[in-house]
Amino acid sequence: MDFQPTEDQKALREGIRSFVEGQLPFDRIPEIEKAGGFDRDLWNEVAEMGVFALRLSENEGGVGLGFSDAVLVFAELGRRLVPGPVVWTHLAAGLVDGAATGETVVGGVDLMGPTPEPVVVEYFDTLDVLLVLRSDGVYRVDPATCEAKPVDVPLDPLTPIHHVTALPEGDKIGDADAAARLRLEGAAIISGVQLGLSEGALELANDYAKERQQFGRPIGGFQAVKHMLAEMFVKQEAARAGAYNAGATLDAPEVADVQKAVSAAKVTAGESAIRNARTGIQVHGGMGFTWEVMAHYYLKRAWVCENMFGTQDEHAEKIATILEAAN
C-alpha cells in the first residue's frame, strides 16, 4: 500500500486547492458568516467541481474515483473552511436524487452513537432532504415535517444549527448495514476535513509568525514559537497518515481492518485539528484577541467535526475492542 499521492491525485488536489483559494479568499468568510453560513453560489461551484459525485461511478454520472481521492479533496475543503453540508451531500450521492449534482442539499443526523441531547441539525434552513442514521437503517426525512428551533449563537459561526424538538421517523431507504457503512465512510471523509483544518491552522500560524515583529525580529525566530510550529507540523503529518490510511483501506478492504483504520484516522485527525487550532490561536495570542483573524474559525470548525460520525473517545473504544478481540 503506497500512501504517496499519484500524479493524478496531486493534480486533483492542486485543482481543488486552486479553486477554493480563488473562490473563497479569507476576506469573504465574514461575508458568508453574516449571510448565515451558507452561500448558494459557492455551493453550486463546489458541485460543478464534481465534489459530490466524486465517488459515484461514471455510469451513474459520477467521476468514478475512490476514497483515497475523496480524502484529498475534502482535506482541501477543510483547509479553506468551505461551509455547507458538503460531507452529508457527498455521502448521499447515488442514494438521494439530485445530491450528486448539488441540486438537492442533504444534511444528516447521526443517532447511531451515544444518544445526542439535544438533537441538532446543521444548515437546517437550507436542506432539501434530511438523512437520519439509526442502528436499524437509513431514514429519509422531509425537513418541513420537523419541529426545530434555530440556535441563536452556534459554536461555529459558519455552521448554523437548529435544535430539532420533534424528529419524524421518515421513510426507510437503507438497512442497518447501509447505515453502518455511511457512518464509517462519513468518519473517513471527516478525517480528511480534519487533516485540512490541521494544515490550514498551521499555515495561518506560520505566516503570522513570519510577519509579526517583536523586539525587532519576527516572532517565528523565537525558540518557543518554533517549537509550537514544529509540534503543529508533527500533528498535521500524523493526521495525514491516518486519513490517507483510512481512504486507502476503504478502497482496498482486503489489506487491513477497515474499522480500525477509520477509527484511528478519526482519533489522530481529530486530535490534530483541535490541537493545531488551539496552538494557532496561541501563536496569534500577542494580538490580545482573535475574532478579527481566521484562527478562531479553525478551532470552532474542529470542534464541530469532532462530534460528527463519532468522537475521539468513541473511536478509541472501537479500536480497543478490536485489539482486545484479536488477543
Task: Answer whether 131's CB lies under 8 Å from 140's CB.
Answer: yes
Contact 303, 155 (CB under 8 A): yes
Cα distances (angstroms) measured from residue 271 to each of 63, 192, 236: 31, 13, 10
Question: Residues in the chain with pLDDT < 70?
Answer: 1-2, 286-290
- Give the cell for residue 284: 496569534
* pLDDT 10s digits, 164-189: 999 999 999 999 999 999 999 999 99
Residue-wise pLDDT for 66-79, tens only, equals 999 999 999 999 99
Q: At what angle do helices 7-23 and 40-48 cross, to 10 degrees?
A: 160
Measured CA to CA, the distance from residue 245 to residue 71 in angstroms comes to: 10
| Cell digits of residue 231 | 509540534
CA dist list (Å): 125 to 37, 86, 136, 164, 201: 11, 15, 27, 12, 29
Convert the pLDDT of each residue in 128-174 to its tens digit. 999 999 999 999 999 999 999 999 999 999 999 999 999 999 999 99
User: d(Cα 32, Cα 67) in Å, to the nearest integer?
Assistant: 29
Q: What is the pLDDT of residue 209?
A: 96
Q: Is 161 helix (H, G, I), strand (E, B) or coil?
A: strand
**Structure letter (DSSP) for residue 159:** S
- Answer for the pair 29, 84: CB distance below 8 angstroms, yes or no: no
In this prediction, residue 289 carries a pLDDT of 58
29/32 Cα distance (integer angstroms): 5
